[in-house]
Chains A and B, each alone.
Chain A
Amino acid sequence: MLDALRGVLARDLLLALRQKSDVAVALLFFVIVASLFPLGIGAEPNLLRAIAPGVIWVAALLSSLLSLGRLFAADHADGTLEQILLGASPLGVVAAAKTLAHWLISGFPIALIAPLLALQYDLDASLYGVLALSLLLGTPVLSLIGAIGAALTLGLRGGGVLLALLVLPLYVPVLIMGAGAVEMAGAGMGGQGQLLLLGAMLVVSAVFAPWAIAAALRISSE
């Protein structure tokens, strides 16, 4: 079972490494979206400081969504997915490995680069840690929930837009807690409550989402 996890993880990471541009594009998208807000709203430092957590979180969420479409699409197109379905390794484990790979490629770099954007938004330096931590806890939940949607919309016409419609409403609690943690910490009340809730969401979705992804993959490739 762990072999399957390791194998799929190594394969997906290797594939991502061979197509670095795909990874870079999602990250660049994150940076660009976050940079657009000051241009649209105006560079008033107090305003920017107030909206920074929300904007960075929304940008992270959209960037994660952008890369979700490719999560299973290539494997579906070249028949790999069918072989995985026929194979002996438990599908839930494979789904978990693929989602983990997706997070390592999309969510993890975002969490690392977010403090840089926070700097642009003149966020207090003491909040960088909370922001990064909230993203580290929250983006895996986004990947896990998003993978269910990606598996359900596999091979459908208008899949990308449909995926957004399915997944974005389910992202809302993560967004509220993630941005809320930074805001509470900024208000001097500490963001522990929100961070703990994010952690709880991560645990619950890590347990249940792989099975839902596996079921969705079976439904989509009947």
Chain B
Amino acid sequence: MKWFWYASPQTFFPLAGTIARVCWVIAALLALAGLYIGLFVAPTDAQQGEAYRIIFIHVPAAWMSMFLYVVMAFWAALGLAFNTRLSSMMASAIAPTGALFTFIALWTGSLWGRPTWGTYWAWDARLTSELILLFLYLGFMALQAAIDDPRRADRAGALLAIVGVVNVPIIYYSVQWWNTLHQGASVSLKSSPKMASIMLTGMLIMVFAFWAYAIAAAMVRVRCVIREREA
């Protein structure tokens, strides 16, 4: 494979367009299927009633919000280490999508919390760390926006992302550390999932839909960045 062929922004530009088109279609189809299963097929939860159906948006968004930060830091670090322009562009292209998913996770979580916990917001460990994650994304974007020279913006953002990525494991393990209000994880690799398999199917389909959306959005944005910088 000619991996390094596509490391150049000029040659990557058309490929990004193709990937974006394919991923838009995949995202739309999977989201339709996942939402259909989630809203119509999956049974009502015995304890939480209909309110639980928000997990079909909430859980994938929360997963993606954390995962995208790691991906962003990975590309940023690659750009810092090997001076590859495209890697840094990928990092800046992923950041807004990650921030969006973080916001969606917080928003849907508070909508779910109102009927279930009786409150929109609780100072629970996971909520708080998700909020901090949003601040980390916003800080990354604000730092890049404040620097006019794109090379310096890339490198400064990369360093910040690497420092911030230390925070992502803290988010993940915060549940065990400060065991509070948030319910324990329902899905883990070690034990069999504690939810009905049809719910799990719907949720996993939504996860893949969000994946496809994230890739498509990042590709569209990286095309904009390439146009801006390389024109």
Contact = CB atoms under 8 A, between A and B. Distances in A.
A222 B147 CA distance: 13
A170 B159 contact: no
A219 B79 CA distance: 13
Contacts of A166: 139, 142-143, 160
Contact of B159 (A145, A172, A219): A219
A213 to B, nearest CB: 10
Interface residues of A, number: 23
Contact of B135 (A148, A157, A165): A165
B170 A169 contact: no
A219 B155 CA distance: 7
B76 to A, nearest CB: 12
Given A152-B160, A169-B135, A169-B136, A158 B152 contact: no
Contacts of B163: 145, 148, 170, 212
Band of interface residues on B: 20 to 34
B26 to A, nearest CB: 33
A156 B142 CA distance: 11
B154 to A, nearest CB: 9
A173 interface: yes
A53 to B, nearest CB: 16
B152 A153 contact: no
A112 to B, nearest CB: 29
Contacts of A219: 152, 155-156, 159
A220 B146 CA distance: 12
A222 B146 CA distance: 16
Contacts of B160: 148-149, 152, 166
Contacts of A169: 132, 135-136, 139, 164, 167
A153 B159 CA distance: 12
B156 A165 contact: no
B138 interface: yes
Contacts of B152: 219-220, 222
Contacts of B159: 148, 152, 212, 215-216, 219
A33 interface: no
A170 B147 contact: no
A151 to B, nearest CB: 9
A162 B143 contact: yes
B139 A165 contact: yes
Nearest to A216: B159
A200 B164 CA distance: 18
A157 B132 contact: no
B142 A165 contact: yes
A185 interface: no
Nearest to A173: B170
B143 A172 contact: no
Given A166-B143, A220-B156, 12 more contacts: A148-B163, A149-B160, A152-B143, A152-B156, A159-B146, A165-B135, A165-B138, A166-B139, A166-B142, A172-B132, A222-B151, A222-B152
Interface of B: 128, 132, 135-136, 138-139, 142-143, 146-147, 151-152, 155-156, 159-160, 162-164, 167, 170
Interface of A: 145, 148-149, 152-153, 156-159, 162, 165-166, 168-170, 172-173, 212, 215-216, 219-220, 222
17 contacts: A149-B160, A152-B156, A152-B159, A153-B143, A157-B146, A165-B139, A165-B142, A169-B136, A170-B163, A170-B164, A173-B167, A173-B170, A216-B156, A216-B159, A220-B152, A220-B156, A222-B152
Q: Which 9 pairs show the lowest CB-CB distances between chains A and B?
A: A169-B135, A219-B155, A166-B139, A165-B139, A156-B146, A169-B132, A152-B156, A219-B156, A169-B136
